[in-house]
Amino acid sequence: MAGKSAVKKGALVAIIGDEDTVTGFLLGGIGELNSSKNGNYLIVTKDTPVSHIDETFRSFLKRDDIAIILINQNIAEDIRPAIDAHIDVVPTVLEIPSKEHPYDPSKDSILRRAKGMFSSEDFR
């Protein structure tokens, strides 16, 4: 939703990741179902089609009850065009490492975009 910037109280964190990552966050209490019985998470396996990951990501972007989308960086690479096209502040998209794939800042398009907003002069 273009132009969304206000976060409503009780907004959710969504997660797209491997089984270990999603399970950890679900155990931490982020799992929710909305009124349409749609969950706020997707467990990605080697058999999950990229089209399904992309559809889920886009559906999370459209939901007004989600404020943050966490996605394993290696999975984000599979849907990089969709992530790069998202320019709204809410929901915020954060790429996170998984147990098998460490975080690589050079692949994080959101971080690269944020770095472009500042110069080295800003940090002196």
What value, to the nearest 5°, has the Cα angle with vertex 53 and ends 58 and 21? 110
Whole-number percent of the chain with pLDDT over 70: 84
How would residue 109 be classed by pLDDT, with cut points 50, 70 and 90?
confident
- pTM, two decimals, is 0.81
Q: What was the pLDDT predicted at 45? A: 96
pLDDT digits (tens, 9 = 90+) for 50-69: 999 999 999 999 999 999 99
Which one-letter DSSP state was computed for residue 40? Answer: S
How would residue 10 be classed by pLDDT, with cut points 50, 70 and 90?
confident
Q: How many helices (H) and strands (E) does the chain have?
A: 5, 4
